[in-house]
Structure formats: structure tokens, C-alpha cells
Amino acid sequence: MTSTTFNQDVFAQEMDAVFIVLLTFSSAQLADDIRIASDPFETLPAANVPGVLSNGLEYLFIPLEITLPRDDSSGTVSASLKIDNVDREIIAQARSVTTPMSVKMQTVLSTDVDVVEVEYDYFTLSNLQYDSMSVSGQLTLDYWGLEPFPSGRFIPSQFPGLF
């Protein structure tokens, strides 16, 4: 459920606020979650670098691109993510993880970064590739809309008490 302010900003011709995407990467193989922001909104107090402080958590600003999935009936729910390789630590973290990471994507407005307007908490990062310029991968989501329901059929041989 989004706020009225968010809905008005989405449909406005001009707006005073900026949409900020916050990404949280989680894995059992990581010592701590990796948090990235799409905008250099403020200077983080602990590290003195640009980022966003939202709900007490620091999100480091790193330029990124997200290509959202197509809105069609193909059943493919896959977005692509590309993060600029601005630090050697990014490659080191990418190499340390051998299983797909969980990704939470949140959108906040710059007018109130503690209010999460939109949240997607079920992405999985896979097909991780990296070079000297960027780190990229696919954000996938299990889509159950094309699965048959119910998966079985109620027939006399399997459910004789119904007939």
C-alpha cells in the first residue's frame, strides 16, 4: 500500500521529491547484509560517504541500473541489475558468494526516507557477472501465476469417498 503523497508524485508532471531505490543483498555466506542506495541523498555519519540513512540502516550510494521485467503474459519475472564497480570490495564480495543472494528492493521518497513506499522482498540474484567496470546479474522472482491449480484432479479412482 503506497501513501497518498507517493501516488500524487508518481502521476505528477513535476515533483519536489526524488524516488530512491534501496537494495539489500543477503546471503548466509556474507558476514553482514550489503546495502546500496541509488541516490547520494546525504552524507552517512559512520563512514562519511554519500548514501541514505533509512530506518536506522545505512545504504551506501553506488550508481546502479535496474531494468524491470516486461509486463506481459510470458510468465517471465526477471529484472536485470547493473552496479558500477567503484570499489575492489564489490568484486571481493561477489567472488565470496557461491549461492544466489536474496535481494530486497525498497523505494522511498527523498522527503521522508524512513517511509518505505514500495517493497519487493522475494528477488534472487543469479547469473552474477563482473568486470573492471560493473557487476551485473539477474533478479528473478518465483511466479506462480502460470502454475496449474489445482495440481491434481478429483477422480473416482483417487477419491472414492467423494463419488
Instruction: Write the DSSP assignment of 53-111 as a string of letters.
Output: EETTEEEEE--EEEEPPP-STT---EEEEEEE--SHHHHHHHHH--SPEEEEEEEEETT
Cα-Cα-Cα-Cα dihedral of 21, 94, 121, 108, to 10°? -10
Q: In this predicted structure, what is the pLDDT of residue 20?
A: 93
Quote the Cα angle for 90-63-126, to 5°.
55
Number of domains in the chain: 1
Radius of gyration of the chain (CA): 20
Residue 69 domain-assigned (yes or no): yes
Residue 5 domain-assigned (yes or no): no
Residue 116 domain-assigned (yes or no): yes
Residue 12 domain-assigned (yes or no): no
Full residue range of the structural domain in which residue 82 is found = 18-162
Q: What tens digit of pLDDT does each residue of 47-60 get?
A: 789 999 999 999 99
Bigger pLDDT: 70 vs 49: 49
Q: Are 79 and 66 in contact (CB under 8 A)?
A: yes
Q: In this predicted structure, what is the pLDDT of residue 113?
A: 93
Quote the Cα angle for 149-152-157, to 5°.
155
Reported pTM: 0.80
Residue 30 domain-assigned (yes or no): yes
pLDDT of residue 88 exceeding 80, the answer is no
| CATH code where residue 32 lies | 2.30.110
Residue 43 domain-assigned (yes or no): yes
pLDDT of residue 75 exceeding 70, the answer is no
Residue 152 domain-assigned (yes or no): yes
Residue 3 domain-assigned (yes or no): no
Q: What tens digit of pLDDT does each residue of 109-145 get?
A: 998 999 999 898 888 888 888 888 888 999 887 766 6
